[in-house]
Structure 1
Amino acid sequence: QSLTNKFPVLHYGPVPRTDLETWDFRVFGEVEEEKRWSWEEFQDLPRTKLMMDIHCVTRWSKFDTEWEGVSLRNLVDQGLISLKSSAHHVLQHCEYGFTVNIPIEVALASNFLLATHFDGQPISPEHGYPLRGIVGSISDRDDLLQPYFWKGGKWLRGLEFLEEDQLGFWEQAGYHNRADIWKEERLA
């Protein structure tokens, strides 16, 4: 890994155009009740700010990045989402049918965020506007699973809670399913 002050843009396919009037975010699958929020409703959910280091599979790292958004853990703790006991995995559904999979332990950890802002500004379209999943590394939290940055989906539209793991786009293409940054799990 090499340290960068820049925030490289890497993604597959074109940047989608987003109409916030028609945009929505869904939570479905192994949940007691499916949820759907409009952009306006999503903005009213409890907000969280996090400072994290991010590590890309392409061998760059950016330290002390500031994110703001909605914590899935908080939504569950506050009863806004009720998971079934059979929910063991999460599939992030993004624009163009792109998917990213993570274990429930990662999705519910303090280093996973449904992010709308980066460094005090709305996330740029190239980085996933209006919403992206973020998973990073928090100093002094060796207890957290810390996967590479690709495990947070750009242009996020929904979370599907699953009983069984389902490989995401990059995992189907040969990337490591767990993607632990400290074990350098890049390819399967």
Structure 2
Amino acid sequence: GGVSAKRLLETVKPKPTARFLLFRSYDSYTTNVPLARFDDDDVLLAHSWNGQPIPREHGGPVRPIIPKLYFWKSAKWVRSVTFLENDQPGYWEVRGYHNDADPWKEERYSGD
């Protein structure tokens, strides 16, 4: 279970200038996601599975599930979500991973 991205965006109402999200994890990991990719019917901020809280080894207490992007965009142990006007590459993106991370386009590395 969890909160859909659509519900979160309806509740939070980001500023019209927001174009990106930055997820920060308890272990200092970060990853960026374009707001347009987050605002999708199948995106979820998950907090439970089969009625039980997501255990730490699987990314609990909260993690985004963004099925249309490579899974490094679905950060584990999320402690904050920040809406940004400008893109801010995260942990793997500054180390050469592709910023968009579309698996159907095989966007694994920045040169792909």
Same fold (TM over 0.5): yes
Residue 65 of structure 2 corresponds to which residue in structure 1? Answer: 134
Instruction: Select the structure that is richer in strand.
Output: 1
1: CA distance between counterparts of 2:7 and 2:92? Answer: 28
Q: 2:88 aligns with which of 166, 169, 175?
A: 166
Instruction: Show structure 2 runs of 5+ residues with no match.
Output: none
What is the identity, as a one-letter code, of the residue corresponding to 1:167?
P
User: What are the superposed Cα offsets for residues 36-64 of structure 1, whole Å, 9 maximum, x if unpaired?
Assistant: xxxxxxxxxxxxxxxxxxxxxxxxxxxxx
Q: How large is the RMSD of aligned CA atoms in angstroms?
A: 1.3
Cα distance in 2 between the residues matched to 1:152 and 1:116:
13
Please state how far the C-alpha of 1:72 moved relative to its aligned partner. 2.6
Match of 1:94 in 2: 25
Q: What amino acid maps onto 2:31 in structure 1?
A: V
Q: Which residue of 1 aligns with 2:104?
A: 182
The secondary structure found in structure 2 opposite 1:73 is helix
| TM-score with structure 1 setting the length | 0.55
CA distance, structure 2, for counterparts of residue 163 and residue 93 of structure 1: 17
Contact in 1 for aligned 2:27/2:77 (Cα 8 Å): no
State the one-letter code of the partner of 1:105: A
Tell me which of the two structures has the higher relative contact order, counting C-alpha pairs closer than 8 angstroms and 6 or more residues apart.
2
Paired letter, 1:117? S
Q: Give the deviation of 1:81 after TM superposition.
A: 0.8
SS in 2 for 1:126: helix
Give the structure with higher Rg (CA): 1
- Structure 1 gaps, min length 5: 1-67, 137-145
Q: Helix, strand or coil for the counterpart of 1:169?
A: coil
> Aligned partner of 2:52: which letter?
Q
Give the partner amino acid of 2:45.
L
Q: How many residues align?
A: 110
1:30-45 matches, within 5 Å, as: none
SS of the aligned residue for 2:8 comes to helix
| Consecutive aligned runs of 4 or more in structure 1 exceeding 3 Å deviation | none
Q: What percentage of aligned pairs have identical amino acids?
A: 45
What's the TM-score, normalizing by structure 2? 0.90
